[in-house]
Amino acid sequence: MRRTRPTTPVIAGLASAAVLGAVVLMVAGCGEHGSAATVRVGYLPNVAHAPALVAVHDGLFTRALRGRSRLETRTFNSGPEAVEAIFAGALDVAYLGPSPAINAFQKSHGQAVKVISGAASGGAFFVVQPEISNAADLVGATVTDPKLGGSQDVALRTWLAGQGLRTDTSGGGDVVIAPRENAAALAAFSAKSIAGAWVPEPWATRLVQEGGGRILVDEATLWPDHRYPTTVIVAATTFLRAHPSIVTALLSANVEAIESIARDPAAARASTNAEIKRVTGRRLSDAVISSAWNNLDFTSDPMPMSFQRAAGAAKAAGLLESTDLNGLFDLGPLNAVLGASHRTTEPAP
């Protein structure tokens, strides 16, 4: 599996830890409606969510909160599951893919969530059985991705459509798409009961190294400049409005985690793997996590302009009714952390 980009973050001029702390304290005195007794943060136990895993394992979230709120973490198998938790009032902040964020925004008529930061870019691949060499070999086959309406689901359907192959959300068409959890996808792929899987890291690497697959498509090739967001951070709108200093504290920890990843990748990989083992009961092999790590960029830039393209692809696939994303982003807290003079995030559409 080839390395796509260096692992250093794309946000330039990140503030120092001391400045981040000052920003958090400054925001704490502005517009707060009361301290939240608990802030509930959700993420997936995979390498694409490494900033969250590092921030949890290394105590960065807890330190940034400075005792103003107790951290409670929850893990999920997919972004859409985290969205359901937000809708149910069981989650305040979540790391997830751009498509679940768009879906949550649309389903709630723009009310439920705001995208507040990025976390990771790249690292999603379509891995197929070794005998499959092109799209035509997939006619009549079954493939998978993590969840209907998820970021990899949209990418898979978009690529197949571009190859002239029909799919539908009920599992019909020229190629059957049967979404399943990543662990189940690896098992099915290894048993050769599916032809391929469009998955994020570390599952793409595991399909290659453990399942004997080959990469047919690197999702980066579908995007301008080979850059696209894989993991972003969303906040429940009500929580963001009620507790801006808590949100800013979490974002400062996310930025610090990304700095830590760039400064000492080996230590960050160890922290990430320790958290994966804590949640799943099994650590990744050194070969898997090293390869997966090199296929990702960790960045707090959410790449806002890419969301419109993702929304258009989801609508074309029959997964979204509207591409109106006006109001999806609130990058004010992130810009407060980074410092206005150092801002390099794209303007929100």
Instruction: Please say whether the beta carbons of 336 and 20 come within 8 A.
Output: no
Say whether pLDDT at 150 is over 50: yes
**What does the buried/exposed string (b/e) look like for 78-111 if buried means 16 or more CB atoms within 10 Å of the residue's CB?**
bbbbbbebbeeeebbbbbbbbbbbbbbbbbeebe
| Residue whose structure tokens are 């507790």 | 243
Band the pLDDT of 33: cuts 50, 70, 90. Answer: low
- For residue range 239-285, list pLDDT tens digits in order: 999 999 999 999 999 999 999 999 999 999 999 999 999 999 999 99
Q: Which of 75, 91, 86 is nearest to 108 (CA)?
A: 86
Instruction: Please say whether the beta carbons of 197 and 156 come within 8 A.
Output: no
More confident residue, 150 or 238: 238
- For residue range 91-130, list pLDDT tens digits in order: 999 999 999 999 999 999 999 999 999 999 999 999 999 9
- Specify whether the backbone of 67 is left (phi greater than 0), alpha (psi in -120 to 50) or beta: left
Band the pLDDT of 339: cuts 50, 70, 90. Answer: confident
Q: CATH 3.40.190.10 in the chain: give the residue spans.
A: 17-123+227-342, 125-226
Quickly list DSSP for 198-260: EEETTHHHHHHHTT--EEEEEGGGGSGGG--EEEEEEEEHHHHHH-HHHHHHHHHHHHHHHHH
Instruction: Please say whether the beta carbons of 227 and 121 come within 8 A.
Output: yes
Number of H-type helices and E-type strands within the chain: 14, 11
**Measured in Å, how far apart are the chain's first and last C-alpha atoms?**
34
Q: Token pair of 318, please? A: 């029959």
- Taking only Cα atoms into account, the Rg of the chain, rounded to an integer number of angstroms, comes to 19
Return d(Cα 189, Cα 196) in angstroms, integer. Answer: 7
Say whether pLDDT at 12 is over 80: no
Q: Does domain 17-123+227-342 have CATH number 3.40.190.10?
A: yes
SS (H, E, C) 201-212: CCHHHHHHHCCC
Return d(Cα 45, Cα 146) in angstroms, integer. Answer: 13
Q: What is the mean pLDDT of residues 297-315?
A: 95
Specify the CATH architecture of the domain 125-226.
3-Layer(aba) Sandwich (3.40)
Say whether pLDDT at 193 is over 90: yes
pLDDT score of 347:
55
Q: What is the mean pLDDT of residues 188-215?
A: 97
Instruction: Please say whether the beta carbons of 73 and 42 come within 8 A.
Output: yes
